[in-house]
């Protein structure tokens, strides 16, 4: 699964993001966060016709047909059933996105020991996502987004049985192509997606508290630190 992540896209990474995704970034992040939690605002890249651009979304998908906000945010969407579930099917076909992140957190059992997972090359991870726009009874609009997850690969299985689906550079164009609306082709695209090259290390349990939010959260948590925590 994916329950927390870091999205701190500074100038050099923003330039790389625009180049790799061929996207127009109208503004930088509203809020840099080393500890993004469900229902908070995240930046994502979406497509419309031939344009790619950034938008801001509530993390936790709210299908447009819902009459009220769900009590439990749908932060993760299972790849295995995304093409079948009414809550996800239309967005999978027509409203796909990429959430660029620096890395994500996972808690290893037993003991729920937090770890930070990040790209081996030091760049960004591009998470496959779907979005929707919910309209409240008062006429207000709320764009929301959910991260697609899949079975953990061999590398990640030591930490958890699920992981976010990372879109490789070679698969970005078809994934972001709004004209591709065949769910079988989309599933085939994601199934053929190469496994990402990742690293991970243990981090401080300070990440467990949402209000903690600084760069120390992603630093390796050594035995000496543990004694002093």
**Which residues are the active-site residues?**
2, 106
Rounded Cα distance between 205 and 6, Å, is 15
CB 181 within 8 A of CB 187: no
The reply to whether omega before 110 is within 30° of 0 (cis) is yes
Following CA atoms 140, 74, 47, 117 in sequence, which dihedral angle do they give, to the nearest 10 degrees? Answer: 130
Rounded Cα distance between 214 and 193, Å, is 32
CB 196 within 8 A of CB 121: no
DSSP 18: H
């Amino acid at each position: 699964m994916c329950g927390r992540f870091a999205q701190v896209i500074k100038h050099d990474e923003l330039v790389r993001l625009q180049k790799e995704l061929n996207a127009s970034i109208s503004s930088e992040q509203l809020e840099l966060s080393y500890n993004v939690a469900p229902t908070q605002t995240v930046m994502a890249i979406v497509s419309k016709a031939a344009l790619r651009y950034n938008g801001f979304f509530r993390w936790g998908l709210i299908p447009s047909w819902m009459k009220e906000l769900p009590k439990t945010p749908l932060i993760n969407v299972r790849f295995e059933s995304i093409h079948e579930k009414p809550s996800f099917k239309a967005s999978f076909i027509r409203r796909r996105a990429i959430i660029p992140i620096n890395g994500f957190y996972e808690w290893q059992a037993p003991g729920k020991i937090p770890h930070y997972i990040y790209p081996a090359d030091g760049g960004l991870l591009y998470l496959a996502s779907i979005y929707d726009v919910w309209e409240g009874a008062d006429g207000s609009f709320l764009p929301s987004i959910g991260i697609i997850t899949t079975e953990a690969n061999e590398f990640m299985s030591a930490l958890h049985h699920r992981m976010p689906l990372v879109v490789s550079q070679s698969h970005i164009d078809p994934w972001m192509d709004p004209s591709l609306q065949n769910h079988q082709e989309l599933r085939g695209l994601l199934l053929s997606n190469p496994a990402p090259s990742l690293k991970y290390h243990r981090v401080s349990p300070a990440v467990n508290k949402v209000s903690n939010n600084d760069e120390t959260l992603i630093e390796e948590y050594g035995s000496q630190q543990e004694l002093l925590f």
